[in-house]
Amino acid sequence: MFYTFQESRKSDPARFGSGSETIDECSRCLVLVDLCKALSQEVYADCYLQQHLMAIQGFPTTTNLPSITSKVYCQMLKDEIQRLLKHISPKFISNGLCALVLAYDDFGKSLRECDCISNLTDSMDIFGTHVETWLESASDELISQCRYVSAC
């Protein structure tokens, strides 16, 4: 289900090379990207199962499998992403982090399609403080480059 670091690099070299991320940071991000994708597939599978279970006579109609499992998936994913962000404390956004933000958004789309969106933690709750740091860092870098160009 999950790619190894080497397989990920071979399959998508564009995900690497920002220069600001270490291989460890990048590989951790890619593992979480793969986790987001895998959990999205699990949500779709749960929706499919729910539709077929509803067709079985006697199955309780009040049981909503996707809603139950998505609560667990959302909490697990949120915890893992927050653990990563706390561990690496990124000052700049990297290719791996950008891929993670996008993968988390795709995971949210799968929840919306299966009417389980209420279980999802808002992206800004997870990435918000880091986004502010990334924007400030990018602004500082841009100002520095502008001053350099003006001085020439």
pLDDT 10s digits, 107-137: 999 999 988 877 788 888 899 888 888 888 8
Please tell me the predicted confidence (pLDDT) of residue 20: 53
- CB-based contact 98:20 (threshold 8 Å): no
For residue 103, CA distances in Å to 24, 55, 57, 60 come to: 19, 32, 37, 33
Ordered DSSP codes for 36-57 = HHHHHHHHHHHHHHHHHHHHST
Residue 130 corresponds to which tokens in the numbers above? Answer: 């880091």
Count of residues for the chain?
A: 152
pLDDT: is 93 or 3 the higher one?
93
pLDDT tens for each residue of 45-85? 999 988 888 777 777 777 788 888 999 999 999 999 999 99
Contact 85, 130 (CB under 8 A): yes
The encoded tokens of residue 148 equal 């350099």
Q: Is pTM, for the whole model, over 0.85?
A: no
pLDDT at 14: 39
Pseudo-torsion of CA 98, 102, 104, 108, nearest 10°? 160
- Rounded Cα distance, 106 and 42, in Å: 13
Residues 6+ apart with CB under 8 A from 17: 95
Cβ proximity of 9 and 16 under 8 Å? yes
Phi and psi based region of residue 57 (left: phi greater than 0; alpha: psi -120 to 50; beta: remaining): beta
Tell me the pLDDT band of 102, cut-offs 50, 70 and 90.
Answer: very high
More confident residue, 78 or 138: 78
**Integer Cα distance of 104 and 101 in angstroms:** 5
